[in-house]
Amino acid sequence: MEKYMAIDLKEGKAVRLSKGLMDSAKIYSNEPWELAKRFSDAGAKWLHIVDLDGAFAGDAVNLKTIEKIVNATNLNIQIGGGVRNEERIKSYLNSGVSRLILGSVALKNPEFVKEMAKKYRIVVGIDAKDGFVAVEGWAEVSQIRATDLAKLYADAGVEAIIATDISKDGMLCGLNLEFTSSIAQASGIDTIASGGVASLADLESASKTNGISGVIIGKAYYEGKIALSDIFNNNF
């Protein structure tokens, strides 16, 4: 099971939010590229970046910071937040990013996402609250069930789906494995669990759950609940 270390960017700094609320941002580093180096040295292969300014404003506000992170390590990087057109996809790929996460647009314009998945390495991000898809930086909850959206991408050629339970994100209360597994079953695609990791036991449980190919780890590391050595020196 792949472990993805998370860096959420706001105004060039690494922060974490609680439940996706921008005014809950807590700054953990003014130099996110140094964090990325630390993850790489510990054995990480992937970095999961969310451009929070991009998610809310739709602009690549943190592009320079992202380029610094790319240049600081050899990590594979997946990035999401405000990626809504092909121009932005190309811009990130040209900067050295490995693959793009399409979130809000996956609900609003599935044809565009399917088209992009034929040309580029694309991951679909499905963020949900009480089983329904949330979009636009989680400010808006739709009437579409997350599992129905997952089904739409079953044969679209996307590399993975990231399933986030917003109610758990940044709350250190454990993953919603049932939700993540339901997304994996609906889509038949590798599904990455996100939101709520609090301990090593959560990672172990995820590794034993059908359909879960990876886990995103953020606040649990930043708040000292899990050490990098524990994350990367285990077999699960």
Task: Give me the tens of pLDDT residue by residue for the chain, a chain 236 residues long.
Answer: 999 999 999 999 999 888 778 788 899 999 999 999 999 999 999 999 999 888 777 666 798 999 999 999 999 999 998 899 999 999 999 999 999 999 989 999 999 999 999 999 999 999 999 999 988 766 788 999 999 999 999 999 999 999 999 888 778 899 999 999 999 999 999 999 999 999 999 999 999 999 999 999 999 999 999 999 999 998 88
Catalytic residue among 8, 53, 165, 202: 8
Residue 23 designated active-site: no
- What confidence score (pLDDT) does residue 137 get? 62
Smallest Cα–Cα separation from 140: which of 169, 112, 103?
Answer: 103
- What confidence score (pLDDT) does residue 96 get? 96
Backbone angles phi, psi at 206, to 5 degrees: -60, -40
Rounded CA separation 214/163 (Å): 10
Residue 104, CA atoms < 13 Å, CB-side half-sphere: 19
- What confidence score (pLDDT) does residue 55 get? 75
Domains of the chain: 2-232 (3.20.20.70)
Residue 8 designated active-site: yes
- Note the helical H segments in 27-145: 32-42, 52-57, 63-72, 86-94, 104-108, 110-119
Catalytic residue among 51, 127, 165, 202: 127
pTM greater than the 0.85 cutoff: yes
Rounded CA separation 79/109 (Å): 19
